[in-house]
Each structure stands twice: as C-alpha cells, then as structure tokens.
Amino acid sequence: MSKKVTVSTIQKIKNSGAKFSVLTAYDYSTAKYIDEAGIDIVLIGDSLAMVALGYETTHCIGVEEMRIFTKAVAKGVQHAMVVTDMPFLSYHCDLASAVKNCGEMVRCGANAVKIEGYSEYILQVIKRLVESGIPVMGHLGFTPQFLNTLGGYKIQGKTTEATEKILKEAKELEAAGVFSIVLEMVPQESAKYITENLKVPTISCGAGKYCDAQVLVSDDVFGKYSDFKPKFARKYGDMKTLIYDCAKQFDEDVKNGNFPSEEEVF
C-alpha cells in the first residue's frame, strides 16, 4: 500500500506537473473501493445532501450529519487524503464556532476541510484554521452554498474582469494558507489562466483540463444519481441499472421461491 497522501504530496504533484484525482464518497465501502483504486483525495462533499439524502439543495445539511458521514468514509480510507466539506452556516457565524466545527471533522477522521467562497471574514477563518493545524481547501467560481445570492447555477468567470476577480480572490486564499482551490463551473481558458498564476494546485469541477486535478461527484461517475447530470460530469458505469436489476431479480426469486436455496439456509 502506498503512503498516505498529505498536503505536501499534493503540492509535490502540482510542482512536478502531474495531475491528481478527487472523488466524493459518503459511506464506508465506497470510500474503501475508491481509495483502493488510487484516488488521491476522498471528499465528503456536501453534495451528499442531494445525492445521498435526497434534499433539494446543499443548504439542508448540517454539522451533525457531516460528522457521521466523515466517520464512515474515514474508516474506509487508508491511502487518500480525507477532506470534509463544511456545510452551510458551519463556519460563517464566528471564528470560534468555525474552528470548533472544523475541528470536530478532524476528530471524526478528516485530514482537511473545504470551505466555500471569499470574503475578508473567510480569509480570517482560513488563517485561524491553519494556525489550529487544520489544512483548508478553498472553493471559488460557482459556490453552491451561495446559490441564492448568485441567482442560480451560473457559470462564473466568463469575462476578463470576472476571471481577474477570481484570480485575485484565489491569491488571497493562497496567502491565507489554503493548500488547494476547487474552481467550479469556470470556463476552461479562465481556469487555465488562474491555475498558471497560483502556487497551490487548482481542482477542476467543470473548469476544464488545465487545472492540476479533477473532482467529480461519485454518484455521477458511477451512474447512480439520475435526477440530474451536470454537463461536465462523465458517467463511467450504470449503477442505477445494476441496483434495479439486482433488486428486481431478488424480488422475483423471493416471490417464486428461488431464494433462499439449500446452500443459503442453516
């Protein structure tokens, strides 16, 4: 088994010009398998509110739920870095509660946390977390927790001015101490420019091929979540059909007496 991925591993990958991979996971066995597959960062994304819990937006999940899912995922992971996405309002109220809530995730097995957005206050939160020994992944471009203020699922950084604004914010996050930055729904050329002007790695979530890493929601990759598929996601499997077929076969076997067999009884 290869060595545990840390913030310095991630920076070394960026410096060498290689790429790294990030996938979300919400449960023990999925985390175990994607870790064994060689994924570098396993993210307990707050996307779990929608894809695993069926809520309408990521606003509906809180610290307590993220603690439970973090514990489950962390137990499954040996090699990858485990990052917990801090939910809506868990770091916005004041610095003390931000450090406490993020620290709780580390207690549950996270190696780092992800926080969305940029403001003078967010910069203070990042500094305080890093001073407390909690590595932070930033998240700019489209930030789902700001859905209502952004006015919907909109591509960010479409103009030169908007790209320069994201770069300025990214540089300030970098100076505050983040070890990486997710760029979500940013045009490929804008993300390329931002990536080339940062020291820390960028992680594309629908921001094209020039970022240092790619992240996708695992339920999109596995073909499990079918309510909506973002344009930038790639489906590598069809778990929805697999689950349906297995459940259908089991249902038939139970009803026609084919389950259990002689080998399946005591």
Residues acting as catalytic residues: 184
Q: Please say which residue, 134 or 245, places its beta carbon nearer to ligand KIV.
A: 134
How far is residue 154's CA from residue 82's CA, in Å, rounded to a whole number? 28
User: How far apart, in Å, are the Cα atoms of 81 and each of 29, 40, 117, 153, 194?
Assistant: 16, 6, 22, 28, 24
Q: Which residues are CB-neighbours of 183 under 8 A, at least 6 positions away? A: 140, 141, 157, 166, 170, 191, 194, 195, 202, 203, 204, 205, 207, 211
Q: Please say which residue, 47 or 190, places its beta carbon nearer to ligand KIV.
A: 47
215 binds ligand KIV (CB under 6 A): yes
Burial of 238 (0-12, 13-18, 19+ CB in 10 A): middle
169 binds ligand KIV (CB under 6 A): no
Query: Using the rule CB under 6 A, which residue among 205, 207, 213, 221 binds ligand KIV?
Result: 205
Interaction residues for ligand KIV, span 227-266 (CB under 6 A): none
How far is residue 75's CA from residue 67's CA, in Å, rounded to a whole number? 12
217 binds ligand KIV (CB under 6 A): yes
Query: Using the rule CB under 6 A, which residue among 45, 87, 117, 157 binds ligand KIV?
Result: 45
For residue 120, report the phi and psi dihedrals to the nearest 5 degrees: -60, -40
Do 173 and 140 form a contact (C-beta atoms < 8 A)?
yes
Do 43 and 83 form a contact (C-beta atoms < 8 A)?
yes
122 binds ligand KIV (CB under 6 A): no
182 binds ligand KIV (CB under 6 A): yes
Q: Please say which residue, 174 or 184, places its beta carbon nearer to ligand KIV.
A: 184
Instruction: Give residue 191's Cα distance to chain centre.
Output: 18
Query: Using the rule CB under 6 A, which residue among 10, 14, 23, 24 binds ligand KIV?
Result: 24
Give the torsion through C-alpha atoms of 135, 136, 137, 142, to 10 deg: 170
Give bridge partners of residue 20 from the DSSP assignment.
213
**Window 62-101: contact mask with ligand KIV (x via CB under 6 A):** -----------------------x----------------
Which listed range, 38-46, 126-134, 240-248, 254-262, lies at the site for ligand KIV (CB under 6 A)?
38-46
β-bridge pairing 41-44 and 20-24: parallel
Judged by CB under 6 A, the number of residues near ligand KIV is: 10
Q: Please say which residue, 227 or 264, places its beta carbon nearer to ligand KIV.
A: 227
CB of 45 to ligand KIV, least distance (A): 2
The residues of the shown chain that bind ligand KIV, judged by CB under 6 A, are 24, 43, 45-47, 85, 182, 205, 215, 217
